[in-house]
Structure 1
Amino acid sequence: MSKFLSYLKTKSFRNNLFAAIFTVIAILFIAFFSLRYYTKHGQGLNVPALKGLQFTQAVEKLEALGLRYEVDSVYMMDQPPGMVIDQDPNAQTFVKDNRTIYLTINTSQAPNVKFPDIEFKSLREVQSLLEGFGLKVGDTSYKADVSRDVVLEASFGGNAIKAGDILPKGSRIDLVLGDGFGNEEVDIPNLIGLTRDEARFSLKGSNLNLGQITYLGEITDSANAVIIMQTPMQSDTLTQVKKGTLVDVILSNQPYQPVIPND
């Protein structure tokens, strides 16, 4: 032990100790600056805004900055073909040189999708289902059926379609829905002498609807104008119509005078 303590006091030990400390510092210094050089610490650039540009314009910007790119595509019917829809990383993100930027481009040709099974589903359910397949609801019409707002038929371009048919993505699908009334018939109410609001209330109670409203002569107060004619009107040959039928009316501000047959 005494020899070891004596060695610690020698000049040789001090020289070796200083050399070891210097070597460790030198290694750390070289490693630190080598890492900074390798990672280009503090060097880079901000990603340019590419959304909304045509693909060729976006590529020119990226190549001028020394950035690489990869491309994916989607189809959006309401956007111009070849336009950049999305980018990753986003604009103004700080990145290193030679970083890959991922672009999503709107393709010019709509991909095909299989038409889903929508028969006898509710309109709300069908809207969500079609949207999930990249399709849209077009015109809707109604036909007599006991189901209300349930899809009975579907067509594209005037042709009937069924589940499994191949359609371009983004297509608008026309639907025929049930009116909820079926073929059940109700008595035709007499609306003569009623105002517009009174007629609407009366028709609602009979599961009928107010159709075209026409005013006859000078109208000074439409709220108090009364019905002088209706179509359809109850007669010896017609007493009932299907539920949901539209009843057209003609109104006038002239006082209603019922026709009394002569004896």
Structure 2
Amino acid sequence: MSKLWTYLKTKDFRNHFLGAIGSVLAVILIAYLSLGYYTRHGSGIPVPALKGLTIERARAVLEEQGFNYKIDSVYVQDQPPGTILEQDPDAGTNVKENRTIYLTMVTTQAPNVGLPDIEQSTYREALAVLSNSGIKVGDTTYRSDIARDRILEVRFKGQVIKTGDKLPKGSMVDLVLGDGAGANEVDIPDLMNQDLDAARFAIRGAGLTMGNITYQGSITDSTNLIVVSQYPMKTDSTSKTSIGTRVNLTVTQGKNLEEPKTETPEQQP
């Protein structure tokens, strides 16, 4: 141990130690200077501002200044197709010549979306659903229907379309809505050959009123009556009537299904 300590205090050790440190520093300095020269540290040209330009104009600017470029596209509603939406690096950033500039362009072709299910929805509900799907609402027309503002049809370019049909995102559809006027009329039920109790039930269920009952022929069982005539009656030209209309019936005695059979002489013992 004493010999090592003696050697560390010699002039030769100091010279070797200082020489080693100097060599390391020299290597580091040379590497730093060489890297700076190789990469031309501090030199470069600013990236031009390209946002909002058309893709044709942006290409011309980049090619004129010696930049390479790559283009990606994305659909953005209400943005002019073919314009630059984003760029990387940002405008004003110093970069080397031949650097690749990445551009995001608004696509010229909108992606297709499926028509959402808005059948039987109200106009207000349909408006929200269509907006979330990227579909706009154009004209609205009304047609007779029991419900006010209920969606009856969806049309695109004059053609009726159904749930799931594809159309370009951002397209405008027209809606056919119910006007609520249909609530004033109901279908006339067909009561012929029904028993009286069933006819009464059908009249009430249709929103109509029971009118006069006329009895035809001999009535022996009031619980077994059959409808033989009604007014109003459903015809080829008349199928609806106003809510609350009185329906008059003519009924006759129904057949007695429990009447015993009469035996023939051959069947008698």
- 1:129 corresponding residue in structure 2: 129
> Do the aligned residues in 1 keep the contact of 2:50 with 2:87 (CA within 8 Å)?
yes
User: Is the 1:68–1:99 Cα contact (8 Å) retained in structure 2?
Assistant: yes
Unaligned stretches of 5+ residues in structure 2:
186-241, 244-269
Structure 2 counterpart of 1:113: 113
Query: What is the one-letter code of the residue matched to 2:18?
Result: F
Unaligned runs of 5+ in 1: 186-240, 243-263
User: SS of 1:183's equivalent?
Assistant: helix
Matches within 5 A, 1:22-41: 22-37=22-37, 39-41=39-41
State the AA in 2 paired with 1:28: I
1:177 aligns with 2:186: no
Describe the shift of the 1:24–1:114 C-alpha distance in structure 2 as closer, same or farther (beyond 3 A): same
Residues 77 and 13 (structure 1), Cα distance of their counterparts in 2 relative to 1, 3 Å cut:
closer
Name the CA distance, whole Å, in 1 between partners of 2:147 and 2:95.
59
Aligned equivalent of 2:66:
66
CA distance in 1 between partners of 2:93 and 2:147 (Å): 54
Matching residue of 1:84: 84
- Alpha-carbon distance between aligned partners in 2 of 1:99 and 1:125, rounded to the nearest angstrom: 51
Structure 2 match to 1:50: 50
Do the aligned residues in 2 keep the contact of 1:76 with 1:170 (CA within 8 Å)?
Answer: no
Paired residue type of 1:25: L
Cα separation, 2, equivalents of 1:43 and 1:82? 33
How far does residue 168 in structure 1 lie from its aligned partner after superposition?
A: 2.9
Q: Which amino acid aligns with 1:16?
A: H
Tell me by how many angstroms 1:79 deviates: 5.3
Partners of 1:131 and 1:41 in 2: CA distance: 52
2:104 partner amino acid:
T
Q: Does 1:159 align with 2:159?
A: yes
- Kindly provide the CA deviation profile for residues 3-53 of structure 1, in whole angstroms up to 9, marking residues without a partner as x: 222212222111101111101211222333344345543333332221232
Contact kept, 8 Å, 2:147 with 2:183, in 1: the verdict is no
Is residue 149–residue 180 contact of structure 1 (8 Å, CA) maintained in 2? yes
* Alignment CA distance shift 1:48-1:20 (3 Å): same
Contact 2:145 2:178 in 1 (8 A): yes
Separation (CA, whole Å) in 2 of partners of 1:147 and 1:45: 67
Aligned counterpart, 2:196: none
- Letter of the structure 1 residue corresponding to residue 121 of structure 2: K
Shifted more, 15-24 versus 63-72: the winner is 63-72
- Structure 1 pair 34/149, CA: closer, same or farther in 2 (3 Å)? farther
Query: Does the 8 A contact of 2:143 with 2:177 survive in 1?
Result: yes
Distance 2:93 2:148 in 1: 52
> Whose Rg is larger?
2
Percent identical residues: 56
